Structure 1
């Protein structure tokens, strides 16, 4: 019996290694011109059939021209990654942040991953970088290269100029509409990932740095793992997670990947007159119980001011932001307008259980009587022939324990999707003062809801598209831009090094001003 189990384990491992080998071989195998053009046509056809607001920020004429032009420029075979570099800017041209092509990545076996870990921490992982004032800075240096000056601006990486890299990379993904704040936030946080995808894994980086008026070259190498603690016995028992800890994780929404909670509530001042609710993303945990607990606490402690911190919140559940808004609203509200979709059954056909794996197909077949009927009842067509889906268009009432005091909302370029929708509603209803930088997501709405992954037939590139146009109830006159703060605060490199929080500081100073 044991031999059979061992044999099965070995067989599974061999299949896994074979699958990885095939995937990596496919990444570097050039595709014929004919197959490339078929993938380009497939991409545009899917976009036209699935995306309900394809021409929101670009005309059909201009987008047609871009796809036709790309096909005429294909004169030789391309690898999937080479096709990605040319096709991703076209998908990003619709300026919809939830739609795009995923970067095709090399896969690694467990043995290869173990070998990389043994070599040590990669150079990019040792540097915390951020785009500030359209420049890439090192805000924290965790490497052994202690000769890196404080407040260093990175001018080049391995002699690749940052300006040139940014110009190439930022064309391959979109924000919502025409704003740049999301792109700058993403470039700062993801420059290492984007660079590695383009040039491969790096064991060392040659950095050209600018500090004050001087230019300096520094090398950051892999950081070998510290083996000084290996004397710890492997048999040592780890402390068990208590029932209380499990409940805390569920209540506040613990993200096991980032090791942080989705929500956090704390109070300032001795009398707890200022409450700060930080929401990292609208996901994980029991949000209904969490907000009930939060606003119970705020009411019991008689807080007069609430600071809602949505900086770098990428969004998440629409149901959650409607629930939160009902604790902040001062009157009845409608959260969204009618949500456009492309056809009566587009959500069923492309969204629910749209994967190609056997269990996804099985679930789709089993659930068909229920999902088919549900989408039929929930989808309608107006006089112009446009299909729309009923989603949060009802009128909602504020909760009995809704907060009635002074409300501030902190936002920046990393505030996206659902966090923009709730920020916009709070601003346009004149319920809150918005502080920070223009949000990365559009104020007037976004196309998201359900976002299936579509695989291109030949290159196997993966495209994700939003299926539901979530249109804000309150519309701003400037379409294609983020939520504009009442008070614009843009952090500087000095703020980062001195660990200042200029947005929060402005709010606290403003509260101390006489009315």
Structure 2
């Protein structure tokens, strides 16, 4: 009888697993089809973006004032016309993308990638993620995520181009059909046009025409635009250093050329958290991100895993380090909880309390559903983010109280499972630190329990609400957007100015790899070890 019951149980479990597997497969795949948009549909999406910017975006006016961003309102008729006359979805996407870069010049503004859309759909289906977007809308958006990955708008030749007084030369030797085109050869004509005429051509007839910003940057490169799927490269007439001329087909290389400054790209370890002993007195912790991929939206085990790793490393050191370096450079963010629970609480001896002021457009608060607002606040201004009090406060000078609501948030972080470290803590930061990474860095700045060393961060800290998703009504594109404005301690705007270091260090190449040998060659790390 027991054997029969056990077999029945296994049979039911197997059937349950098959049903769950099928359900997950159905949710994670869905149907991805190309939308058929009319000119009016395309114009409606552009108008939606303009209306959204007017009503909800906290930065459009500030961007125009502090970053000289073009006026989205003045550009609206131009982009409505671009949208109306777009010949296909690829062209329309480039129109939307270019207009979106004006509206979203600061903070979190980007198209949601396909992998994130899949997991967001799964979380939405089970009610874990509440963004006001249906599972079907996530499926529609996947078409545009796929399309964006296929579109190439930038390309360069397989050699460096050097400009000298409106003339262009090869920056290195290049082999063509068994012949060497030597360094210093002049680029005389591109696709039958002089360099200046070719630049005028690409600015008026390629994807560059949709760019709202000044196009003079293209003059530094000449051959920089990918003219489309059938475009393979350029026919170039060279003037060689010996006075002879040579025509050659120059194949394109997709993307921007590496700048002269980009000499070193750090080879990162696979693990998100790496702990190393640099000297007998200096420990080192590398944190690549405050999340471990799209699955982090559903599962948070990585936070405990990294915390335990640091704890074991410092416990093994038995408190011998007088300095600990946390390398946060180029950390693009993730979840604020990571910084609070892994990199602040375990370093504290007593509770710390600090406050920050955050502004949100009042209309956004009124028009956003209660459940969506609760979800967006959960990560940044609720208990998980150590918030103990939220009070409405007067807007700073220059902000219309009829359009803005400002809050003062008070956070209290308690000591928890103290790390075995009593020395001086240094955090390495740079312009690649963004989003939740800046939440952590901004908190360190306010608390003052560690020294921030390096360069200004990229900003993007969230105060009252996490950046939400929006869906364009006709096409179904899904973007992430910024809706709150964080005021720094000095009165500047975090998303525009970032967080400044306590000790500013000169620009320097990053380490070649996260190994003891390469880290000890790093200029910033040597500065901390030897001089601070």
Give the TM-score, by structure 1 length. Answer: 0.54
* Residue 513 of structure 1: aligned partner: 530
Of residues 366, 371, 395, the one that matches 2:412 is: 395
In 2, distance between residues paired with 1:409 and 1:353?
30
Of 66, 70, 88 in structure 1, the residue corresponding to residue 75 of structure 2 is: 66
Deviations 1:249-276 (A, max 9, x none): xxxxxxxxx993322222222x3x2221
Closer/same/farther in 2, CA of residues 286 and 335 from structure 1, 3 Å limit: farther
Which one of the candidate residues 276, 284, 291 is aligned to 1:283? Answer: 291
Aligned to 1:313: 331
> Match for 2:44 among 38, 53, 56?
38
The counterpart of 1:298, out of the listed 314, 333, 342, is 314
Please tell me whether the aligned partners of residues 311 and 414 of structure 1 are also in contact (alpha carbons under 8 angstroms).
yes
Change (3 A) 1:424 1:300: same
The Cα offsets for residues 186-236 of structure 1, whole Å up to 9 and x where unpaired, read as xxxxxxxx988x73499x88899xxxx9x99986999xxxxxxxxxxxxxx
User: Aligned equivalents of 1:201 and 1:97: distance in 2?
Assistant: 35
Query: How far did 1:468 drift?
Result: 4.1
1:84 matched to 2:93? The reply is yes
1:75/1:168 Cα in 2 relative to 1: closer, same or farther (>3 Å)?
closer
Among candidates 485, 490, 509, match of residue 507 of structure 2: 490
Out of 360, 364, 368, which is 1:346 matched to? 368
CA drift of 1:310 comes to 1.2
CA distance in 1, matches of 2:429, 2:51: 36
Q: Which runs of 5+ in 1 are unaligned?
A: 110-115, 117-121, 130-146, 149-154, 175-193, 223-257, 355-370, 372-376
2:357 to 314, 322, 337: 337
Equivalences for 1:63-142 in 2 at 5 Å? 63-71=72-80, 76-93=85-102, 94-101=104-111
The structure with the larger Rg is 2
Q: CA contact under 8 A between 2:424 and 2:450: conserved in structure 1?
A: yes
SS at match of 2:85: coil
Contact 1:380 1:387 in 2 (8 A): no
Quick one: distance in 2 between partners of 1:300 and 1:41?
59
Shift of 1:500: 8.7
Distance 1:297 1:207 in 2: 58
Maintained 8 Å contact 1:30/1:78? no
Contact 1:31 / 1:79 at 8 angstroms: preserved in 2? no
- Written as runs of structure 1 = structure 2, the 5 A alignment for 1:205-220 is none
| Conserved? CA contact 1:452–1:464, under 8 Å | yes
Deviation (angstroms), 1:426:
3.1
Residues 40/434 of structure 1: CA separation in 2 closer, same or farther (3 Å cut): same
* TM-score, normalised with respect to structure 2: 0.52
Q: Measured at CA, do residues 389 and 108 of structure 1 come closer, stay the same or move farther in structure 2, by a change above 3 Å? A: closer
Deviation at 1:406, TM superposition (A): 2.0
Q: Which residue does 2:439 correspond to in 1?
A: 421
Q: 1:455 — aligned with what?
A: 471
The residue matched to 1:98 in structure 2 has which SS?
coil
8 Å Cα contact 2:360-2:405 kept in structure 1: yes
Is the 1:408–1:432 Cα contact (8 Å) retained in structure 2?
yes
By how many angstroms is 1:308 displaced? 0.9
Distance 2:316 2:434 in 1: 32
Question: Relative to structure 1, is the Cα distance of residues 500 and 81 closer, same or farther in structure 2, using a 3 angstrom cutoff?
Answer: farther
Q: CA deviation at 1:79?
A: 3.0
Q: 2:511·2:519 contact (CA, 8 Å) conserved in 1?
A: no
Deviations 1:383-438 (A, max 9, x none): 646446786x2233444726542222223332211212322443465544444444
The root-mean-square deviation of aligned C-alpha atoms, in Å, is 6.0
Residues 1:100 and 1:514: Cα distance change in structure 2 (over 3 Å) = closer
Matches within 5 A, 1:337-376: 337-338=357-358, 340=360, 342-343=364-365, 346=368, 348=370
Alpha-carbon offset, residue 82 of structure 1: 2.2
Per the alignment, residue 424 of structure 2 pairs with 406
2:345 to 326, 332, 339: 326
Q: C-alpha distance in 2, partners of 1:430/1:466?
A: 27
Q: Which residue of 1 aligns with 2:116?
A: none
| 2:120 corresponds to | none
Q: Runs of 5+ in structure 2 lacking a partner?
A: 1-17, 114-140, 160-178, 181-186, 214-223, 255-267, 293-300, 377-381, 383-387, 395-400
Relative to structure 1, the CA distance from residue 453 to residue 327 in structure 2 (aligned partners, 3 Å threshold; closer, same or farther) is same
- Distance 1:450-1:494 versus aligned 2 partners, 3 A rule: closer
Q: Do the aligned partners of 2:349 and 2:415 also contact (CA within 8 Å) in 1?
A: yes
Kept after mapping to 2: 8 A contact 1:282/1:320: yes
Deviations 1:80-113 (A, max 9, x none): 332332333333224223124469886899xxxx
Secondary structure at 1:490 match in 2: coil
SS of alignment partner, residue 343 of structure 1: helix
